[in-house]
Amino acid sequence: MHYIDLAIIVAYLIAITLFGARFRSGQKNLRDYFLGGRTAPWWAISLSIVSAETSTLTIVGTPALAFGGNLGFLQIVLGYLLARIVISFVFLPQYFKGEMFTAYELMRRRFGERVRKLTASIFLVTRALAEGVRVFAISLVISIVLGTGEIASIVLIVLLTLFYTFEGGMTAVIWTDVVQMTLYVLGAIASFVIILGKIPGGWEHVALVAGAAHKFTIFDFRFAFDMEFFARTYSFWAGVAGGCFLTTASHGTDQLMVQRLLSARDERQSRTALLASWLVIFVQFTLFLLIGVLLFVYYGDQGLAAPAQKDRIYPEFVWNNLPPGLAGLIIAAILAAAMANLSAALNSLASTTVVDFYRARSKSVSDAAAMRIARWATVAWGLVLLAIAIAARNSKSVLEVGLTIGSIPMGALLGVFLLGVLTKKPREGAAIAGVACGLTAVLGIHFLTPVAWTWYVLIGTVTTFSVGLLASLFQGPPPPPEEILVRQPIGGPDLLPPRHANPE
């Protein structure tokens, strides 16, 4: 047992939990609890976006990808930049017309209550499944640290994260994200330096060995319109198209990310935070992939056998080879990423449940009652994620499993959002038909073909948008104006007045 390391990990867990819980004071309504009162600076929101994109999946899964392959994953990161540009100019102006709590309030304003609940339901199911896999990834680290696969350690992390998220709301999420992201990036840099120091010959030797094994290959420009082309996960075309569509969907329609964008003081700061986050993401993924390359060279030089589950290779090396104290700090950093992502998921799941379902039915509920419901919704989702994590223990590559689950419904969400923002004719029925066909198409492709997950969002988006637009040609005449209900400002009457006039 590394008693110094364990002491550092325990001290960190207690400190970050108490730090997050202190943000409870000053919360008076749902705006404070779910949007942090719109007081966070853009740079904190930017780091929080990165932290939400990163999880234990990224930290343990990305080095494993480079260990077993190359740097091809960076092709997807290029698509992330294109997506941020699209979101900045297509979605953000819509989100800042009025006071919104969730992305799905935009669907209510454009199509009506049924589409709002449909898209919100898709988010709840998808985010719960994907986040459950991410919570499971914590067990890979805990089992190495404690030498056991017992679920009790996972329960501890979930309960601690649940406590400060329950108490501090979105403000706690953002500021603990900043602290935790700083910690795990510094831990990764320290790991890189130490692993490189253990390789005789240093970087020159790494470049020689890894170069000969094609570990530094980034781009795959091969193009052929056949099944083999679509089955390749990491090609330039799949990376740019898949990364762009996946991130446009996840950051533009998924409440986990949209909630951060809505927490900015205004549209300009939201855009700045989103675009700045890409540079951090690019550096971060490059760092973790290079750690995987270093481990490949180190294991080869030492004649060591890689773990059967390659996702264990980075945390296992850290725990068994780094000096006492530093190993504990880096393991704490890995847990930090897990807690940051989990807290974000809990808050976004709770906000969607309360705003898009409970409050949509009970508009007259008081602020105090709404706050109580929000906190207990957070608890309920914590238990759901814990159950899913326990059920996900047979996953092979936790990173790719998480991305695959997230990609299946994202195309349908992005398609219906684009239908709402870019067109005027399609109404509720057409939107629902588009979503149903988009989901069906991607599920069929997932179960019946070898097409890689990087194409799922593009296929789902095109199908949903096209079917919705086509279905609008068969709509009946619109209802007379007197039958259209006058809608209140987004979020309900108890919120601050909209910052911009609502054109509707």
Q: What is the pLDDT of residue 356?
A: 86
CA-wise closest residue to 374 among 17, 21, 30: 30
pLDDT tens digits along 22-52: 777 666 777 777 777 788 899 999 998 888 7
Taking only Cα atoms into account, the Rg of the chain, rounded to an integer number of angstroms, comes to: 23
The pTM score is 0.77
Tokens at 277, concatenated: 């986050």
CA-wise closest residue to 260 among 51, 503, 98, 29: 51
Q: What is the pLDDT of residue 503?
A: 38
List, as one string, the DSSP characters of 313-348. Answer: HHHHHHHHHSPTTHHHHHHHHHHHHHHHHHHHHHHH
Tokens at 60, concatenated: 């343990």
Q: Is the C-alpha dihedral spanning 442, 401, 217, 449 positive or negative?
A: negative
Q: What is the pLDDT of residue 55?
A: 67
Tokens at 275, concatenated: 């675009």
221 vs 233: CA distance, rounded Å: 12
pLDDT tens digits along 319-337: 878 788 888 887 787 777 7
Top mean pLDDT of 132-141, 147-156, 393-402, 439-448 is at: 439-448
pLDDT at 295 > cutoff 80:
yes
Q: Where are the domains of the chain?
A: 3-24+43-483
Characterize 378-401 residue by residue with b for buried, 16 or more Cβ atoms within 10 angstroms of its Cβ, and e for exposed: beebbebbbebbeebeebebbbbb
CA-wise closest residue to 28 among 349, 371, 359: 371
49 vs 359: CA distance, rounded Å: 26
| Identity of the residue numbered 474 | F
Q: What is the pLDDT of residue 220?
A: 78
273 vs 262: CA distance, rounded Å: 11
Q: What is the pLDDT of residue 97?
A: 83
pLDDT tens digits along 456-480: 889 999 999 999 999 999 877 766 6
**Cβ-based neighbours of 486, under 8 Å, separated by 6 or more:** none
pLDDT tens digits along 124-171: 988 888 777 777 777 667 766 766 555 776 777 788 788 878 777 788
355 vs 244: CA distance, rounded Å: 29
**Cβ-based neighbours of 170, under 8 Å, separated by 6 or more:** 33, 34, 35, 36, 259, 263, 347
| Torsion angle of C-alpha atoms 170, 399, 104, 161, degrees rounded to 10 | -20
Quick one: 124 exposed, middle or buried, by C-beta within 10 A (0-12, 13-18, 19+)? buried
Cβ–Cβ under 8 Å, residues 136 and 310: no
3-24+43-483 CATH fold: Sodium/glucose cotransporter (1.20.1730)
Describe the crossing of helices 3-21 and 113-146 by its angle, rounded to 10 degrees. 150
Q: What is the pLDDT of residue 279?
A: 93
Quick one: 213 exposed, middle or buried, by C-beta within 10 A (0-12, 13-18, 19+)? middle
